[in-house]
Amino acid sequence: MPYLNWPVREKLLKYGLVIREDDCSYVWQIPASDRCDWVKTTQDCKTNYGFSYTEVLFCSFTTEKWALFGLGCILLILWLLYLFLVLASTADNFFCPSLGVISTVFHLSDSIAGVTILAFGNGAPDIFTSLASDLDDSMIMFTELIGAGVFVTALIAGSVAVFSPFRVHWKSFLRDCIFYVLSASWISYIVSDQIVHLWEALSCIFLYIMFILAVVLMQMYDSREEKQKSRIPRVPDPEVLHTYLLNRDVNIHPRLRARAFNVHAKLDVAIAKEMDRNKLDQEPSKQETSPEGKSSRPKGLFREFLFDVSPINIDDWRSGNRLLRTLLVIRSPFMFLLQLLVPVVNETAEKRGWSKLLNCLQLCVTPIIMLFVFDVWSLSVNSVPLFVICFPIFAGIAIIAFLFTSEDEIPAFHDAFAFLGFVAAMFVVYFVAGEVMLVLECVGYVGGISDAMLGITLLAWGNSVGDLISNVTIAKRGFPRMGFAACFGGPMFNTLLGLGLTFSIGAAKTEGYEIYIRISDMAPGCLAFLFGSLLSSLVYLSTTGFLARRSYGFLLYTIYISFMIICFLSEIHFMHPLGTDHRS
């Protein structure tokens, strides 16, 4: 926040928003020459983990030189955007393919696989951002999850309808919408007194389990009804068959990729699961490995290894425009590390992503690095350091796997790499999400932005922009229902599990099994607009016979724009936040 003169300070006192001296945002009240020392000694400016961005910004980029400080702020924002790119790329390239294989291993129904794959792939950044945040950041976390819900159910759902009008499957929509309304109502009740008991936090997780059970039961009922009627072809709706027939000549089947890592990984896996659910792949698919009809994957152990660890996929580079190529170059540093350390089993890739030398190296290196980052090297067993015990074990497993596997044949235990990759990717997202929270706190200290506004804007947009791209792309590729369904199942998954897990862990650590949380004055407005978005969808689609026209998308756009205008006016104190009591 800029330096507060007395008139501004009196205005903040009027609204009850004066900054305390133990708050890191109070740094602007300190003389410029003393701000660095003040930040170093103030507890609120310190971090328990990660990098101290506030200290670096106010000490290395001193406020005594505003040009230098402005450069530091620009670099901070660019670093925040880069972290969001890491989160999105990790979820798309590593989570979704592994989840698809895991669902196959456990013989999950296609409906459950759809709920988990697309919902978890889109919601992983939100979930792990919530888990990585402290309870002191509950204001950011709560408004981010609710604000992201408004963003997804209004802006993204509206975009799906604008780019690809379609008829909604009314049973699934009513189920998702009603469960989401019930979830939001229950969450608003349990946080109303700003005290969350352990049983209340666990009830959020239980509510999501009930949603999964409802999906299973509906799928079982539809399957039995479909079997009795003996539909040919077996598709739940003629519109799906019509879409398939229109696109048969252009090969709507996801193309078999040369590598397990590519920018289309999440889309390919999601569409493959959707087509399997709709029984559209009864005929042998004419999948190609490249636009020219031949594979670009090289032969040879070391050539294959270098091809798979290359941070830029040559197929993505050739088929991409300038924007995509720029994105590939920007993300290449962290993609190189992730591809080297995180194994992926991808059902839509050649050899399901099997790369002998790379996978065997990952068997040895990945568990060691995970133990190192968890800082367990100080532990010992019978005075023997843990590293001395673990390294020979993992190295032996890797050597055995290398000796008894073939370069061209997929080993029988290949699916086990999906579990290792899932755990490793989960840890990466958790670590990066923690850094995102630290950067956002620093941005709030510098700009005087409230925690609630940070959650509603930067954090919600950063974690959800990937949803916007993937859901709209899925809709434009002929599956608008799938992208639309993810706009309701995904945010509900994030909200129930994000709040449920975080509050449960926090409450379980206290004696009374309850925690005190901070809820922003903007929280009632966020919940009000979330209810407004859901109820508007329910009323509009019921009126049009569940036909999502472009006018439906523009209606949702209007709701979200109104939401952002009210939040912005509340942030600058032009008006009171919705739902607050202004009486003396």
What are the residue boundaries of the structural domains of the chain, listed by start?
1-46, 47-354+410-571, 355-409
State residue 561's pLDDT score: 94
The tokens for 336 are 């190189």
SS3 content of the chain, % helix, strand, coil (to 5): 70, 5, 25
pTM of the model: 0.68
State residue 559's pLDDT score: 94
Widest CA span in the chain: 80
Say if residues 262 and 340 touch (Cβ distance below 8 Å). Answer: no
Angle at 52 between CA 47 and CA 54, to 5 degrees: 105
HSE-up (13 A, CA, CB side) for residue 119? 23
| Rounded CA separation 215/547 (Å) | 22
| Rounded CA separation 126/497 (Å) | 10
- Name the E strands within 377-489: 380-381, 384-385
How many other CB atoms sit within 10 Å of the CB of residue 443?
20
| Rounded CA separation 494/128 (Å) | 9
| Rounded CA separation 159/162 (Å) | 5
DSSP codes, 484-519: HHHHHHHHHHHHHHHHHHHHHHHHHTSTTSEEE---
Please report where in the chains the tokens 């926040």 appear, as a residue: 1
Closest to 215 (Cα-Cα) out of 493, 464, 535: 493
Q: Name the phi and psi angles at 510, rounded to 5.
A: -100, 160
Closest to 93 (Cα-Cα) out of 483, 422, 462: 422
| Amino acid at the residue 75 | L
Say if residues 556 and 536 touch (Cβ distance below 8 Å). Answer: yes
In the chain (584 residues long), the average pLDDT of successive 10-residue segments reads 40 46 74 84 72 84 84 89 82 73 66 55 58 57 80 89 86 87 89 85 89 81 67 47 44 59 62 58 44 66 84 76 82 86 81 85 84 68 74 88 86 85 79 79 78 77 72 70 76 81 83 79 85 92 90 93 90 74 54
State residue 552's pLDDT score: 93
State residue 92's pLDDT score: 73
Architecture of the domain spanning 47-354+410-571: Up-down Bundle (1.20)
